[in-house]
Amino acid sequence: MEFEGKVLEILPPVSGQSARGTWERQTVVFEQPNKQYGKELAVTFMNKGQEVANLRVGESYIVSFDIESRNYQGRWYTDVRAWRVQPLQAQPQPPVHDMPPFMEEPQGAAGVIDDMPF
């Protein structure tokens, strides 16, 4: 899944040790445009410190994410986990067609341009 959002806040990283090794988690809060009342969404980045370091508050990005839920001691916790972030590119303007495209000159049988009147 994807959404377009503007970075509101980048929270400090949290790291720890698990049976699988060292991990680092960082949360970034995005504001989703085109939503009534400006919806915010906290997105978790796992072991993606370099990607988060490239983000800038106030800039817009396209965020690809998965939603994950897990049960811990009888309670359910849900994360929105990003797996890719791309800067939002301004949409290119369509080309202006103020004149027709150039056409190739007709070639004679021997490859010579014949521009003489009949």
pLDDT in single tens digits along all 118 residues of the chain: 999 999 999 999 999 998 889 999 999 999 988 767 768 999 999 999 889 999 999 999 999 999 999 999 999 999 999 999 999 875 555 666 666 666 666 555 555 666 666 6
d(CA 67, CA 7): 19
pLDDT at position 95? 62
Contact 51, 45 (CB under 8 A): yes
Calculate the dihedral angle through the C-alpha atoms of 46, 52, 58, 61, rounding to the nearest 10 degrees. Answer: -70
Please name each of the domains of the chain with its CATH number: 2-87 (2.40.50.140)
Those residues whose C-beta lies under 8 Å from the C-beta of residue 83, and which sit 6 or more positions away, are: 64, 65, 66
Cβ-based neighbour number of residue 46 at 10 Å: 14
